[in-house]
Structure 1
Amino acid sequence: MTSTLLQKICLLTGLVCFLYVQEITGITCFDCNSLYDPRCGDPFDAYSIGEVNCSKQQPLEHLKDKYQPSVCRKLSFKIYGKTRIVRKCGYIQDQHDDKACVKRSGTHDVHALLCSCTTDKCNSAPSTLMIENNNYLLKALPLCLTIMIMVLANSNSIIQYL
């Protein structure tokens, strides 16, 4: 088997693996409500709350035919001095994703802090700024391995083992 053919096979295999990993890994978010589970509040212990693969959850009736889950959300509400935090999957992206949270205030002592992010389990962060949990390295692993194999194949050191 020639080195060029081996390189092409490795590149094609790595590309297919990379695309496959990208496709099967729906966004994973924490899903809880501090009204029903106080562990959902801040400070948040990510090891004590379940995470969900958002693409495997029952879609919301009014969004199921239009959108797929693509973000994680953290919503902090303070109403008459009581705070509630909701962490969940989100369906619609906007310009605030992965940036500072958006503050909203209403009448009669009602305040909301809305945070959204686009990486797995990123809705565990404090409410001041959503810190990304970049899993791009995991998704790029097949492509990196393919490139490494191609480099080794070019040096003819791997050919002798095939």
Structure 2
Amino acid sequence: MLVFSIKCWNCRSSNDPKCADPFDNSTVPITDCKQEKGLSHLPGVRPSMCRKIRQKVNGEWRYFRDCAYLGEVGIQGDERFCLMRTGTYNIFIEYCTCNSKDGCNGSSALNPLSLIFVLSASAILKWLF
């Protein structure tokens, strides 16, 4: 079995404001994901990616960066793109995963307008064909 190892930034903006964007890693630890203990509800699953979660709840932005256990890199394998979700009660979540290099969950690689353009173009193409 191939063992994949990646190092990811590990922080929460609630504990360290430098974890937010723009990201400042001067006080943020980088974690070797192969050293993570694992999760009790996912026995045998090891982290193989980095993640960055940006969420807005009732007007307040929160950022989380750490090792990722499940999911797919980016959207259809392109880590320049992040999954975005909105919900009721003024909730917005952007979930980004990457594995291209150590510390890849440091900064945003994508302009949100680019994602809107790509998603809009995809929807138009599906509608036409």
* Secondary structure of the corresponding residue to residue 18 of structure 2: helix
Q: Does residue 90 of structure 1 match 2:68? A: yes
Point out the structure with the larger helix share.
1
Between the two proteins, what is the percent identity of the paired residues?
33
Deviations 1:75-111 (A, max 9, x none): 0010010000000100123152523011100001100
The code of the aligned residue for 2:62 comes to: R
Q: Which residue of 1 aligns with 2:57?
A: 79
Q: Which residue of 1 aligns with 2:126?
A: none
Deviations 1:52-84 (A, max 9, x none): 00110111111132x211000000010010000
Q: Which residue of 2 aligns with 1:46?
A: 25
Scaled by the length of structure 1, the TM-score of the pair is: 0.60
* Secondary structure of the corresponding residue to residue 39 of structure 1: helix
User: Which of these residues, 35, 39, 48, is aligned with residue 60 of structure 1?
Assistant: 39
CA RMSD in angstroms comes to: 2.0
Q: Does residue 102 of structure 1 match 2:67? A: no
Scaled by the length of structure 2, the TM-score of the pair is: 0.74
Which structure has the greater CA radius of gyration? 1
The code of the aligned residue for 1:84 comes to: R
Note the residue ranges of structure 2 that are not aligned, 5 or more in a row.
Answer: 112-129
Q: Which residue of 1 aligns with 2:108?
A: 126
Note the residue ranges of structure 1 that are not aligned, 5 or more in a row.
Answer: 1-21, 130-162
